[in-house]
Every structure is written in C-alpha cells, then in structure tokens.
Amino acid sequence: MTTQPNKVLETFPNPNPARDYHIHMEIPEFTCLCPKTGQPDFATLILDYIADKQCVELKSLKLYMWSFREEGHFHEDVTNRILDDLVAATNPRFMRLTAKFYVRGGVFTNVIAEHRQEGWQPAPFVELTRFGGQSNTRG
C-alpha cells in the first residue's frame, strides 16, 4: 500500500454484518485550504457509521484525508464530498460525518452531513443505569 496521499478508499468485509454496531472514528488533524485566501483550515472530523457489508480500512482513510491538505474547499463542500466518497466506498446502513473547523475570522464552523440507507431504521436506544438505580448526583 502506498504511503502518499490519495483518494482511494479501501474496504474490508464487515466481520459481523448481521448486527447493527456503531463504529466511531475521530480524525483530529484534518487540513485543507481556504478557497478564498489559500490559508490552511484545520478541523477535527468525527465519523460515525453502521456498516452493512463493508468497513473502511484505516490506513487508506488516513491517506484519503491527507489528500485534501493542498486543496481549496469551503467547509460545507469538503464535508459533503468526504461523506459522499465514504458512502460510495462502503454503502453503510447509516453514516454521519461531523466536521468541527477551528476558528477562522472569529467564527467556528461545524458541518454535519448524514446518509441513511433506504428503509433502514435504527434499533431503539437502550439506556442502562448504574447498579441499584443510584443516581450520579450527590444530595
């Protein structure tokens, strides 16, 4: 596998396709360039997904993210482009990409884009309490 930035997203078979399970990744070193000024934009990307048949391979994801370093993109554009590429590569049941861009001109920008496979519904959320039903607050 190459160690140069590229747009190839490799996948591997989901080891448990019968189960909906949450895959969470944080990419704290994402960079691209401002299309207006050419100055670098820095972001933390948070990827949450429920795989169907394929999962994204981590090294290829790292090299893919690195490939944006010298490209100019508006925050909204790059977030949606990355989500579209990940969905095309993995065809997940559900995927959410949260892009938390650091301050530029006194403004923080967060962009959240989602994909949901047609007909897929999440299982109801189950909240577990501590043993004995005790609260975490002191009274």
Catalytic residues: 34, 41
Query: Largest Cα–Cα distance of the chain, in whole Å?
Result: 57
In one-letter notation, the amino acid at residue 71 is: E
